[in-house]
Amino acid sequence: MTVRIGLIGAGGMGRAHLARITNELSGGKIVAVADINHDAAVSAAEPYGAKAYDTSDELVGDPEVDAVVIATFGKVHAPDVIKCIEAGKYVLCEKPLATTAEDCIKIMEAEQKAGKKLVTVGFMRRFDAAYNEMKAVLEAGENGQALLVHNRHRNPSVPESYTSRMAIDDTAIHEIDTMRWLLGEEIVKVRVERPKSTTHRFEHLIDPVVVVMYTESGVRIDDEVNVNLQWAYSIECELVLETAAVRLGDQEKIHIRDAHGNRNAMCQSHIDRFQGAFNREFQEWINAVARDEHTGSTSWDGYAATSVVDAAVASLEDETSPLVDVTLIDKPDFYA
Ligand code: ISE
């Protein structure tokens, strides 16, 4: 079966997904694109011979759309995700699932009413080969328990529209989800520290920040979010076990040794750094939709991540950087 896919949100990320589904993956076909910017919808749809809609209502209601990808801004995700659930369509929603815990709860309620897991949150790092190897080392148990994790999430630059809150809900949210997935437990406390600021930031921005989190069993996680590096998109992670330290390898494809040293090209965005992970995530989703099955992270994962974001933002907004408790509702059996 070919899965007929509709995309809501014709920005850079959405277009990258259209290209991967068409050129690199199998089993999926782009049949419709919706964007409130009519010209954007038309120009994104046209190369694929897809329909262009101005509203998500039309796209979700189109009987020729089997499943939906949402790549709009986080703030507008919730109503579209709920529309897809009510239409009984599988939806892969880019992170964050929603920007408030209340909206995530509404999504979980709609999904439980539908009686079927339909929502996958676009936490693509769960599909990155190196993070998976790291998780396999932890789960093999030969080096003892996890004690600490050190993360560095660095971007070359961000636009003026990027806010300090986005350092948490748009950037650190990747580590928040990846750490929950890697360690297999919830994050229960979080603090956001503000070191000295870079002169390369826009004046309104707090950058860098360091997000410090603790899990239920007491693993301490730190995450340097540093988004005006100028030189690269660079993701680092070191998992400290009792008798080993496991680090992600570098992301390079080749090394060059010459008169300038031994070096490798650095990625410039998440789209090139996580190309393989995005492809695996989308291929698994298409395959699962074709079998009428759910795959990947659930609405609960989206909710839990957004709840950690809420606590982290509360800490960020208080100059004393308090350690804030993360509050979660009881996990519904539906997501067990
Ligand atoms: C962006 O939305 C992403 O998802 C990237 O992975 C992250 O590095 C960047 O900071 C975000 O703005």
Write the CATH number for 135. 3.30.360.10
Looking at the structure, tell me whether residues 26 and 147 fall in a common domain: no
> What are the backbone angles phi and psi of residue 50, rounded to the nearest 5°?
-95, 165
Cross-strand bridge partners of residue 189:
214, 325
In this structure, which residue's CA is closest to atom 7 in ligand 1?
171
Q: What 3-state DSSP class applies to 27? A: coil
Percentage above 90 pLDDT, the chain: 94
Question: Which CATH number do you get for residue 25?
Answer: 3.40.50.720
- pLDDT for 325-336, tens place per residue? 999 999 999 999
Dihedral sign from CA coordinates of 89, 90, 94, 98: positive
- pLDDT for 183-232, tens place per residue? 999 999 999 999 999 999 999 999 999 999 999 999 999 999 999 999 99
Quote the pLDDT of residue 218. 98
Quote the pLDDT of residue 266. 86
In this structure, which residue's CA is closest to atom 11 in ligand 1?
171
d(CA 192, CA 171): 13
State the amino acid at position 260 in one-letter form: H
Is residue 145's pLDDT more than 70?
yes
Which domain, by its residues, includes 314? 126-273+305-335
In this structure, which residue's CA is closest to atom 6 in ligand 1?
270
| Non-local CB neighbours of 145 within 8 Å, separated by 6+ positions | 217, 241, 242
Task: Find the 143 Cα to ligand 1 centroid distance in Å.
Answer: 32
Q: Ligand 1, closest atom to CA 153?
A: 8
Question: What does the pLDDT average to over 84-91?
Answer: 98
Half-sphere exposure of residue 138, counting CA atoms within 13 Å on the CB side? Answer: 22
Query: Crossing angle for the helix pair 101-114 and 77-86, nearest 10 degrees?
Result: 10
Tokens describing residue 210: 């360091």
* Residue from 127, 171, 175, 272 to probe ligand 1 pocket by mutation (most atoms less than 8 Å from CB): 171
* Residue from 161, 174, 251, 281 to probe ligand 1 pocket by mutation (most atoms less than 8 Å from CB): 174
Task: Find the 305 Cα to ligand 1 centroid distance in Å.
Answer: 15
Looking at the structure, tell me whether residues 176 and 325 fall in a common domain: yes
Q: Ligand 1, closest atom to CA 233?
A: 8
pTM, full prediction: 0.95
Domains identified in the chain, total number: 2
Residues near ligand 1 (Cβ within 6 A): 155, 170-171, 174, 227, 270
Looking at the structure, tell me whether residues 25 and 147 fall in a common domain: no
- pLDDT for 247-281, tens place per residue? 998 776 778 899 988 888 888 999 889 999 999 99
Looking at the structure, tell me whether residues 45 and 145 fall in a common domain: no
Is residue 238's pLDDT more than 80?
yes
Task: Find the 25 Cα to ligand 1 centroid distance in Å.
Answer: 23
In this structure, which residue's CA is closest to atom 9 in ligand 1?
171
Looking at the structure, tell me whether residues 58 and 145 fall in a common domain: no
**Which class for 260: exposed (0-12), middle (13-18), buried (19 or more C-beta within 10 A)?**
exposed
Looking at the structure, tell me whether residues 75 and 108 fall in a common domain: yes
Looking at the structure, tell me whether residues 172 and 321 fall in a common domain: yes
Task: Find the 114 Cα to ligand 1 centroid distance in Å.
Answer: 31
Looking at the structure, tell me whether residues 39 and 184 fall in a common domain: no
Quote the pLDDT of residue 252. 64
Is residue 54's pLDDT more than 70?
yes
Looking at the structure, tell me whether residues 120 and 218 fall in a common domain: no
Looking at the structure, tell me whether residues 73 and 159 fall in a common domain: no
Looking at the structure, tell me whether residues 97 and 30 fall in a common domain: yes
Looking at the structure, tell me whether residues 92 and 148 fall in a common domain: no
